[in-house]
Amino acid sequence: MGAGAAEAAEQREPGGNGYVGRALKRKEDPRLITGRGTYVDDMELPGTLYAAIIRSPEAHARITSIDTTAAKERPGVEAVFTGEDMGDLAAPCPMVFAPPGVEMRVPDHWPLARGKVGYVGQPVAVVLGPDKYAVVDAAEDVIVDYEPLPVVVDPEKALEEGAPIIHEEFGTNKVFEWSLAGGDVDAAMAEADVVLERRVVNHRTAGAAIEPRSFMAQWREGRLTLWSSTQIPHVCRVILSIQLGIPESTIRVVAPDVGGGFGSKLQVYCEEVLACWCARRTHRPVKWTATRTDDMLTTHHGRDQIDYVRIGAKRDGTMTGIHVKIVQDCGSYHLIEGPLIPTFSACVISGVYDFPAVKTDVVGVFTNKHTTDAIRGAGRPEATHFIEVCIDQLADELGMDRLELRRKNFIREFPNPRPHGFVYDSGDYDGTLDRCLEMLDLDAFRREQAELRERGIYRGLGFSTYVEICGLGPSRALGPNGWGMQGGYFESAQVRVHPTGAVTAYTGTSPHGQGIDTGFAQIVADRLGVDIDNVEVIHGDTETGPFGKDTYGSRSMAVGGEALARAVNKVQEKAKRIVAHKLEAAPEDIEVAEGAYRVKGSPDKAMTMAEIATEAYIPADLPDGMEPGLDETSFYDPENFVWPFGAHACITEVDVETGRVDIVRWVAVDDCGPAINPMLIDGQIHGGAAHAIGQALYEQVVYDEEGQLVTGTFVDYALPTAAEIPWIESDRTETPSPTNSLGVKGVGEAATIAASPAIVNSVIDALKPLGVTYINMPLTPMRVWQAIQEAQGRGAGPRATEQGRALDQQGRGSAGSGPAVPGDGGAS
């Protein structure tokens, strides 16, 4: 990247009102917290048919017959449809990751199953009727006969010879194999004095947004409108066009208030396409809203990687290389981009460390479980987890201090090209760690830890120093000729000043709880010199503003914010020319300050935006050749990703009798460039850390060996509550990115990517005196207790299940075990 950090800082336009950088309260909150939000399920259209979906109770089976007669005869049932009725769909559900030169196995995936089911919960038929309760009763009258087939839920077993094949047409359960490397990893391991090997299991989790998915479709006069609880209305419209075989110009997709997504609504779901198809077929509005159990069954899951990690190092701590084989459980069918996810692990495999050689081998696997796809962090939490846990393991192996090992290998020069082709834009890894340690008081903790151990109280401290890749993204890198995503990853913005000087800003991003309305309004108000209350930010409707690329991958500010800043600059530029013309000055002599456009040096000669807008819309005296209006659009495709980073520290206390882990303190120092609104950043850090704490200590999607989902409600899927989440002591450093003129990096996923290894490292630190050296997530009381028992040489009885099988059968990567050995089933 050409521009350095200092240059980027200079490009920042302070603007007129100083809104940027202030911790303004969220504009969207009064509405949302007083119950005046409008979610899809709040909307009613006359004549709506409600959908009840018949789902497969089998994890793997042939459908031998479907009898809809009884259901159709029930009063109040308008129609019943099965997969056979949907032959007019133009295409199955698409999967958009097609890396060049890689054989990618993509089974036909239809909104309603055709002939076969591959996971429990797969939609098989739909009942439509005007009463949302009656259709649920009627659904019980749809009789589906299944011929069960052998089930495989463990991705490593699915790769073994003789495993049940889920999609016969492929003759294998392997989805794809793919490698990304740079430098000579074999040589790196050969020259290493120590090669640390671990098998790290990153278990399956759910996005668990507070608002379950909801879709309402209307077909009128040849036009389709879909109201969807989605993160991606623009992408959804393209996909509906492809699947329904109708032009985008006849489709409108609206994302009204959306109650969280965390990646789980970065998707176009079977039920979404189904609602649209049913609306077209019946000419009635059709609505479907997920129950929590629908959501747990069929909203895509995340993580579910098994990572075979090797790190080579010299005795002095110099790390020579890292090699990871990732086994990614893809589930039985793909949704929009599931197989892409481990690629994001590969992107950040170098972490914050100056590895001269890196290599990631990925093998994706079909299993009889639901699809995995992007959940907050999407591949980067998995990578940070195995890197940061293994760095601690390596430090122990070398007998080195954990922080000394980190610092010895920190990257310190930026922009920094990594061996596998990525360029870290900017960073100061010592800076965030220094600040973290300052807040933590390490010496005081070590004294306290020793004193408490005397009294039988076990406390530990763990760190995570991380970097992540976000701001998706440069289309040349991500797109068809790069990674192979079949799309562009630019963002759009349109800024319209109205005749009275009020401003509407349209963004192609589709925020759903992040506070982007506020952050974007700050940028607009700042640069245009208007009051922030006169700025409305509009998003989530394909009929307003230009085509956009929605919200995911921590892209809204770094890509959408930059697109917006560029559109605002165009408006400002035109406004200055109007002012210069009216006040008889040169455009370059006009400055925006204190809410006005002033002639430099003559502050009494000034115009407000309202006055300028009047000139623009009553074009009686505009500069020669200038078009009327004050309305500008920008499309921005970034040159590089952005790379946020930071240091998290976690103190835990372990009840060694029961295995219960409590978090005593959390210190987070993150750097996402100059803050647009520090309060929004704090919110993302707190929520992001909570998300990772959930995975590390509480949450796990569990299937049994028959492929039945065991965690179908929040009773069993242990989402942490406010009572479980500690206060997050957060602070920032601000290292601008040279990638965009705002200098900003994304922050929505950063803390989720950072946090889980800090907990695991902390618990291992606490239990070291008892001989525990390694433990996989989630650190449930039973698993921690079992680890202690094993380390103490006591049997602990049958083990908890993990990945659908007993842990003791697994025998690797558990407490006190030796180095892991990568299986033969891994990628080449």
Residues that bind other proteins (CB under 8 A): 132-133, 136-137, 291-293, 657-658, 660, 698, 702, 710-711, 713, 715-716, 718, 720-721, 723-724, 780-782, 785-786, 796-800
Minimum separation from the CB atom of position 799 to other proteins (A): 8
Q: Rank residues 50 and 506 by Cβ distance to other proteins and give the closer one.
A: 50
Q: How far apart are CA 475 and CA 210, in angstroms?
A: 32
Residue 777: CA count within 13 A, CB half-sphere: 34
Minimum separation from the CB atom of position 692 to other proteins (A): 16
Strand intervals (E) in 207-249? 214-220, 223-228
DSSP 534: G
Q: Rank residues 417 and 798 by Cβ distance to other proteins and give the closer one.
A: 798
DSSP 486: S
**Number of Cβ atoms within 10 Å of the Cβ of 615:** 21
**Number of Cβ atoms within 10 Å of the Cβ of 696:** 26
Q: Rank residues 42 and 662 by Cβ distance to other proteins and give the closer one.
A: 662
Contact 275, 217 (CB under 8 A): yes
Residues with Cβ < 8 Å from 231, sequence gap 6 or more?
255, 258, 261, 263, 265, 266, 267, 510, 512, 550, 551, 552
For residue 167 the two structure tokens come to: 């999609």
Minimum separation from the CB atom of position 722 to other proteins (A): 9
Minimum separation from the CB atom of position 75 to other proteins (A): 12
Minimum separation from the CB atom of position 790 to other proteins (A): 13
Q: Rank residues 136 and 593 by Cβ distance to other proteins and give the closer one.
A: 136
Q: Rank residues 649 and 784 by Cβ distance to other proteins and give the closer one.
A: 784
Contact 288, 40 (CB under 8 A): no
Minimum separation from the CB atom of position 125 to other proteins (A): 17
Q: Rank residues 74 and 577 by Cβ distance to other proteins and give the closer one.
A: 74
Minimum separation from the CB atom of position 724 to other proteins (A): 6
Q: Rank residues 1 and 800 by Cβ distance to other proteins and give the closer one.
A: 800
Minimum separation from the CB atom of position 212 to other proteins (A): 9
DSSP 589: G
Burial of 38 (0-12, 13-18, 19+ CB in 10 A): exposed
Q: Rank residues 432 and 700 by Cβ distance to other proteins and give the closer one.
A: 700
Q: Rank residues 193 and 716 by Cβ distance to other proteins and give the closer one.
A: 716
Ramachandran angles phi, psi of 289, nearest 5° = -125, 130
Q: Rank residues 628 and 798 by Cβ distance to other proteins and give the closer one.
A: 798
Q: Rank residues 479 and 781 by Cβ distance to other proteins and give the closer one.
A: 781
Minimum separation from the CB atom of position 169 to other proteins (A): 36
Q: How far apart are CA 122 and CA 192, in angstroms?
A: 49
- Widest distance between CA atoms in the chain: 90
For residue 76, which of 158, 131, 144, 142 has the smallest C-alpha distance?
Answer: 131
Contact 78, 267 (CB under 8 A): no
Minimum separation from the CB atom of position 810 to other proteins (A): 16
Which string of DSSP letters, residue by residue, matches 350-366?
TTTB--S-EEEEEEEEE
For helices 750-767 and 380-398, the axis angle rounded to 10 degrees is 30
Distances (CA, A) of 355 to 201, 246, 296, 410: 23, 50, 39, 9
For residue 387, which of 758, 827, 765 has the smallest C-alpha distance?
Answer: 758
**End-to-end alpha-carbon separation of the chain, Å?**
33
Q: Rank residues 185 and 201 by Cβ distance to other proteins and give the closer one.
A: 201
Q: Rank residues 291 and 809 by Cβ distance to other proteins and give the closer one.
A: 291
Minimum separation from the CB atom of position 709 to other proteins (A): 12
Minimum separation from the CB atom of position 137 to other proteins (A): 6
For residue 758 the two structure tokens come to: 């800090």
Question: In 311-356, which ranges are continuous DSSP H helix?
Answer: 341-347
For residue 538 the two structure tokens come to: 């509009």
Residue with tokens 């995995």: 372
Contact 619, 581 (CB under 8 A): no
Which string of DSSP letters, residue by residue, matches 736-784?
--SSSTT-----TTHHHHHHHHHHHHHHHHHHGGGT----PSP--HHHH
Across the beta sheet with 596-599, the strand order is 590-593, 596-599, 602-607
Minimum separation from the CB atom of position 149 to other proteins (A): 26
Q: Rank residues 362 and 796 by Cβ distance to other proteins and give the closer one.
A: 796
3-state secondary structure of 277: helix
Residues with Cβ < 8 Å from 331, sequence gap 6 or more?
118, 119, 300, 301, 338, 366, 367, 369, 370, 371, 372
Minimum separation from the CB atom of position 814 to other proteins (A): 15
3-state secondary structure of 248: helix
Q: Rank residues 666 and 785 by Cβ distance to other proteins and give the closer one.
A: 785
Q: Rank residues 328 and 786 by Cβ distance to other proteins and give the closer one.
A: 786
Burial of 781 (0-12, 13-18, 19+ CB in 10 A): middle
Minimum separation from the CB atom of position 706 to other proteins (A): 15
Minimum separation from the CB atom of position 133 to other proteins (A): 6
Minimum separation from the CB atom of position 727 to other proteins (A): 16
Question: In 475-550, which ranges are continuous DSSP H helix?
Answer: 475-478, 516-528
Q: Rank residues 286 and 796 by Cβ distance to other proteins and give the closer one.
A: 796
For residue 366 the two structure tokens come to: 């079909």
Minimum separation from the CB atom of position 140 to other proteins (A): 9
Q: Rank residues 643 and 698 by Cβ distance to other proteins and give the closer one.
A: 698
Distances (CA, A) of 203 to 300, 310, 468: 14, 20, 20
